[in-house]
Amino acid sequence: MKLNKNFFNLHDDYLFYKIISKAKEFEKTNPKLKIISLGIGDTTMPLCRAVISAMKKSVTEMSKKETYRGYGLEQGCKFLRFAIKKYYKKREIDLSISEIFINDGAGRAISEIQELFDSNNTTLIVNPTYPAYVDISILAGKKIIFANANQKNLFSPTPNKNTKCDIIYLCSPNNPTGSVYTHEALKKWVNYALKNNAVILFDAAYEAFVSSKNLPRSIFEIDGAKKCAIEICSLSKTAGFTGVRCGYIVIPDKLIFENHKINKLWMRRQTTKYNGLSYITQRGAEAVFTNEGQKQNKKIIEYYKENVKIINESLKKIGIWTCCSNNSPYVFAKCPNNMNSWKFFDFLLYKLSIIVSPGIGFGSAGEGFIRLSGFGDRNKTIEATKRFEKIREFLG
């Protein structure tokens, strides 16, 4: 037996594991200090009432012989796929329920979707972005190239004359920068993909945070995207499902490579490898798409976005440059005094007892930046911003 040698090409540390280890060590040596975490992108608000009551109702159904359910459809329950179809229709995107696949979240989907593609393909990844795309591509033995995001291109790079790739991971709103692709910029990627026989894997995990009406929340808002893109979405950040687990992939019927419908291939794969998501979870997910669920979750998203605003304003006040689109749960901030990401991380931890995420953990182009999360508690967020006022005292 031989091991998958691609494992040894991974970086030693997974970013969030390293952050937690550093925080734990600090806590051990400074037990009296109150640490505030603006680091990890996990949600903190409870599930909304609509979801809880739908899940409770389905638990009762499971307790009676007449309404008990066993295995469901591999592709996901029809009621949930209809709810998602309606959700897209509100944005004038027509989908059939056979184009929607329910799963247990975007993390698994962005990885497993690689099974469709030959390992000789070249994958393009925006730098910086969600680090899993790189690890997944390394494990799958793919060649990786990067599209560098920076202040000049507003952290939304588009293809240029040197771009040569077959698989394109795009994340909009982007984790960690919060930048959102415009229709015009996405059209450039769609045109590139159509012209070069490439596929776009569009991670829309944060689409619900987009409130600017003129910005796209789905790749399928772009003409031609159904012929070159797969959309990966999740209820983790939209509805606090990080611990419940539910997401979905949209694979259009028109997506065809080498005369094969990708939708059919994925369906074939799912019927072998997946026995469906739990019925209780799918009923909870269905409630997310009801009017009541949408209203209740909007309030929670507004709460997180208000945290973002508070963090952003406090950093700007002390002269720290930020990339804050107001359409994401994150603030991406430039480290002051030319510090690198880990140095500023250590400074904030050791001087102010605040945890953030170092930008370098999201790619080399994230060096010199940090990511701050709006997913925390309001009072703790305000307390953190009071501590930020001391940054200039320490650094000048």
Under the binding rule (CB under 6 A), the answer on residue 375 touching ligand PLP is no
Among residues 197, 216, 191, the alpha carbon closest in space to that of 206 is found at 216
Q: Quick one: which of 178, 247, 252, 374 contacts ligand PLP (CB under 6 A)?
A: 247
Stretch that binds ligand PLP, among 105-113, 299-307, 352-360, 385-393 (CB under 6 A): 105-113
Q: 170, 201 in Cβ contact below 8 A?
A: yes
Residue 242 lies near ligand PLP (rule: CB under 6 A)? yes
CA-wise closest residue to 261 among 305, 210, 226: 226
User: Is residue 236 near ligand PLP by the rule CB under 6 A?
Assistant: yes
Contact 253, 99 (CB under 8 A): yes
293 or 329, CB closer to ligand PLP? 329
Nearer residue to ligand PLP within complex by CB, 236 or 294: 236
Question: Diameter of the chain by CA atoms?
Answer: 70
Please, which residue, 270 or 373, has the CB nearer to ligand PLP? 373
Is 177 near ligand PLP (CB under 6 A)? no
- Span interacting with ligand PLP, options 18-26, 103-111, 221-229, 280-288, rule CB under 6 A: 103-111
Stretch 143-172: interaction string toward ligand PLP, x if CB under 6 A: ----------------------------x-
Using the contact rule CB under 6 A, the part of the chain among 57-65, 99-107, 252-260, 315-323 near ligand PLP is: 99-107
Tell me how many residues contact ligand PLP (CB under 6 A): 13
C-alpha 172/C-alpha 218 separation (Å) is: 9
Q: Find the binding residues for ligand PLP in span 352-371 (CB under 6 A).
A: none
Helix axes 341-352, 15-29, angle to 10 degrees: 30
By CB under 6 A, is residue 175 in contact with ligand PLP?
A: yes
Residue 130 is a binding residue for ligand PLP (CB under 6 A):
yes
- Continuous segment of H or E residues that includes residue 203: strand 199-203
Which tokens go with 143? Answer: 């060649």
Q: Which is nearer to ligand PLP, 175 or 381 (CB)?
A: 175
Whose Cβ is closer to ligand PLP: residue 251's or residue 391's? Answer: 251
Q: Is 256 exposed, middle or buried (0-12, 13-18, 19+ CB in 10 A)?
A: middle
Are 206 and 323 within 8 A, CB to CB?
no
Among 100-108, 272-280, 322-330, 346-354, the segment contacting ligand PLP (CB under 6 A)? 100-108
Contact residue for ligand PLP among 50, 51, 106, 113 (CB under 6 A):
106
How far is 78 from 341, CA to CA, in rounded Å?
46
Residue in the structure block whose two tokens are 């990786």:
144
Does the footprint of ligand PLP cover residue 207 (CB under 6 A)? no
Q: Does 234 bind ligand PLP (CB under 6 A)?
A: yes
Two structure tokens written together for 161: 């004359």
Minimum distance between the CB of residue 2 and ligand PLP, rounded to whole angstroms?
30
Cβ-based nearer residue to ligand PLP, 247 or 366:
247
Q: Is the peptide bond before 128 cis (omega within 30 degrees of 0)?
A: yes
Whole-number Å distance between alpha carbons of 203 and 380:
30
Amino acid at the residue 309: K
Q: Which stretch binds ligand PLP (CB under 6 A): 57-65, 102-110, 302-310, 371-379?
A: 102-110
Smallest distance, ligand PLP to C-beta of residue 260, A: 26
Pairing of strands 167-171, 199-203: parallel
Listed in sequence order, the residues at least 6 apart from 91 whose beta carbon sits closer than 8 Å to its beta carbon are 217, 218, 221
Q: Which of 203, 207, 231, 286 binds ligand PLP (CB under 6 A)?
A: 203
The residue type found at 80 is: L
Per-residue binding string, ligand PLP, 49-88, x by CB under 6 A, is ----------------------------------------
Q: Token pair 């005369």 is at which residue?
A: 259
Q: Is 374 in the site for ligand PLP (CB under 6 A)?
A: no
Under the binding rule (CB under 6 A), the answer on residue 39 touching ligand PLP is no
Note whether 318 and 335 are within 8 A (CB). Answer: no
Please list, in sequence order, all residues whose beta carbon lies within 8 angstroms of the beta carbon of residue 114, skipping any fewer than 6 positions away: 136, 137, 140, 142
Residues interacting with ligand PLP, by CB under 6 A? 41, 105-107, 130, 171, 175, 203, 205, 234, 236, 242, 247
